[in-house]
Structure 1
Amino acid sequence: GGRMASLVADECGVAGLVCLGYPFHPPAKPEKLRTEHLAGLSTPTLIVQGDRDRFGSPDEVAGYLLSEAIRVHWMPDGDHDL
């Protein structure tokens, strides 16, 4: 859901986007990033991510190049099943 929505948000002209548990990379494969398009995203976006999410941890996500339009909110003790 969130990944596909973020890929089309700008071209669809939506007012904003909320992603619950974004798949920054496949579990146990942090080298296979799914983030390239996020650097240029202009749609205001909130990503709500569990701090135990195997698809992207706080330490990993801190190093990613994300658009200024993106805010990440971390849920304590949360995993990908928010």
Structure 2
Amino acid sequence: MKVKPSSQPVVVSLPLCHYDDTNSAKASRHQLKEAICSALFDMNVPSVCALNQATLALFAANQTSGIVVNIGFQVTSVVP
């Protein structure tokens, strides 16, 4: 794509994981976030913003509040 990572901020879309709230699942998600941030830091990315998919869907629709229905392959979620 011929884009310099050091000149582009990055938005990370995080999946909704309400169905698995065990301590091990939370720790696993935390490790994943740390690994992503570490990799982006190594590429000298100027900034990183991590948001869940529901928030990004609202922003894409030019809204700041609402109800998002996410119909996925295995999980459907409704987020107010």
- TM band (smaller chain): 0.3 to 0.5
If you compute each CA radius of gyration, which structure gives the higher value, 1 or 2?
2
Greater helix content: 2
Q: How high is the TM-score relative to the length of structure 1?
A: 0.32
